[in-house]
Amino acid sequence: MATISDRLELALDCVTDGRPSRVPRSLPTEEFTTEAFRAEAAAVAERAVPWTVGSGVQGVGIGEKVTEGQPTGELALRVYVDRKHPKARIDNPVPDQVDVGDLRGVITDVIAIGPVEAELFVDRTRPCMPGCGIGHPKVSAGTLGAFVRRNGNDALFALSNAHVLADDGLAARGDPVLQPAADDGGHDATDTIALLEDFVPFEFGDTGFPNLVDAAIARVEGHLVDLAIRLLGRPPAGITTNVRRGMRVHKVGRTTDLTTGIIQDVHLRLSMMYRRAAHDRARVGFRDQVLCTRFTQGGDSGSLVLSSSNRAVGLHFAGSPSSSVFNRIGHVLETLDVDLVVGE
């Protein structure tokens, strides 16, 4: 039985590369390896060039079709554009559906995601925005998640993980935070964007799950930053502590940009190894964490996790080959004693 996502993967290959990279197991291999199919796939790719690599097209992928703002529950071949235009004004609009030989009726969807500049997350960016790569000079790279304030003061702080801004907690207050991060070529002489202000110390131990967050803040000058999250074009709309299994969340991160995950477990207790001293790693047990399907990669640590209504639900900090884990936003803000900067 051919699954819809296998059909879409095959269609995506054909439309972008002109041939399947592999035929998914659920599809009849013989049908999709014939000369006729190859010729058809190559022709489809050629016809699709205006809407797969044309001006204003940011990328092509697979995702849920969204009609008038509502997810339809149906997977579609997605074309990501910087902004949408009326069809009549486009010479080669994205067809409503794509046929490649026997692979017929693959539906498409056009999603406006704003201009994507591939290197911007790792490049030096001023003003610097949430979603950009940052880190302590001794840390490879993480993500600037959001901005926060303390006690109603005007001073602005960048929020990310302790393992990003505070070198697992080994850093000292006042240490520089770089944008771009060290791994992306940042140097403290020229690229310091913020100074480490505070972090939540880890409670190490061979047993127990006392920790709630991997979080830190660094003081930034207001003129160096833009409060709007990259790719979303606006700050978080607020916060919500309502997290449910099955709920869809998204984040903008240094490595994988804007991606979506689904919450799978809202009662997660886990332990991981962090450095307690320069050459001493020890166990840190966390409670009350949230596990999602995989929607992040290394370097996305510190990304703000948002609900579909753009309210902050968490701070991404860890992942495995099949999952991504975030701290609940309520715990982050409470333990650091800060307020999230929100807006419309």
Partner 1 sequence: MATARQATRAAQMHAEELSAYPNVVAIGTRPVDASATKGTEAEHAVAVYVSRKVPGEQLDDEERLPAYVEVPEPGGTERVPVVVVESGVIEPEAEDTTAVRDQGYTSE
User: What is the DSSP track for 98-139?
Assistant: EEETTEEEEEEEEEE-----TTTTTS--SSB-TTSEEB-TTS
Among 264, 311, 335, 341, binds partner 1 (CB under 8 A): 264
Among 240, 260, 293, 323, binds partner 1 (CB under 8 A): 323
Applying CB under 8 A, does 175 fall inside the site for partner 1?
no
Q: Residue 168 phi/psi, 5° resolution? A: 65, 15
Q: Which stretch binds partner 1 (CB under 8 A): 65-73, 157-165, 224-232, 332-340?
A: 157-165
Nearer to partner 1, 153 or 207 (CB): 207
DSSP 229: B
Compute the residue count for the chain.
344
Q: Which residues contact 282 (CB under 8 A, 6 or more apart)?
A: 204, 205, 273, 274, 275, 276
Number of residues engaging partner 1 in binding (CB under 8 A) = 51
Min. distance of Cβ 273 from partner 1 in angstroms? 8
- Residue closest to 34 by CA, chosen among 81, 96, 101: 101
End-to-end CA distance of the chain: 46
Nearer to partner 1, 18 or 176 (CB): 176
Among 268, 276, 335, 341, binds partner 1 (CB under 8 A): 268
For the record, the structure tokens of 81 come out as 């554009």
> How many CB atoms sit inside 10 A of residue 216's CB?
28
Footprint (CB under 8 A) of partner 1, residues 180-219: 181, 183, 207-209, 214
Q: Please name the helix (run of DSSP H) or strand (run of DSSP E) that holds residue 192, with its range, or none.
A: strand 192-199
Tokens 């995506």 appear where? 12
For the record, the structure tokens of 176 come out as 């520089």
Nearer to partner 1, 51 or 295 (CB): 295
Q: Which stretch binds partner 1 (CB under 8 A): 64-72, 91-99, 220-228, 314-322?
A: 314-322
Nearer to partner 1, 2 or 262 (CB): 262
Burial 92-111 (b: 16+ CB within 10 A, else e): ebbeeebebbebeebbbbbb
Nearer to partner 1, 48 or 247 (CB): 247
Min. distance of Cβ 12 from partner 1 in angstroms? 23
Applying CB under 8 A, does 321 fall inside the site for partner 1?
yes
Q: Binding string, 121-140, against partner 1, x = CB under 8 A?
A: --------------x---xx
Footprint (CB under 8 A) of partner 1, residues 82-121: none
Among 16, 58, 255, 259, binds partner 1 (CB under 8 A): 255
188 contacts 176 by C-beta, under 8 angstroms? yes
Q: Which residues contact 118 (CB under 8 A, 6 or more apart)?
A: none
Applying CB under 8 A, does 325 fall inside the site for partner 1?
yes
Among 170, 297, 335, 342, binds partner 1 (CB under 8 A): 297
Nearer to partner 1, 107 or 297 (CB): 297
Which amino acid does the sequence have at 156? L
Q: Footprint of partner 1 on this chain (CB under 8 A)?
A: 135, 139-142, 161, 163-164, 168, 181, 183, 207-209, 214, 244-246, 254-255, 264-274, 285, 287, 289, 291, 296-301, 316-325
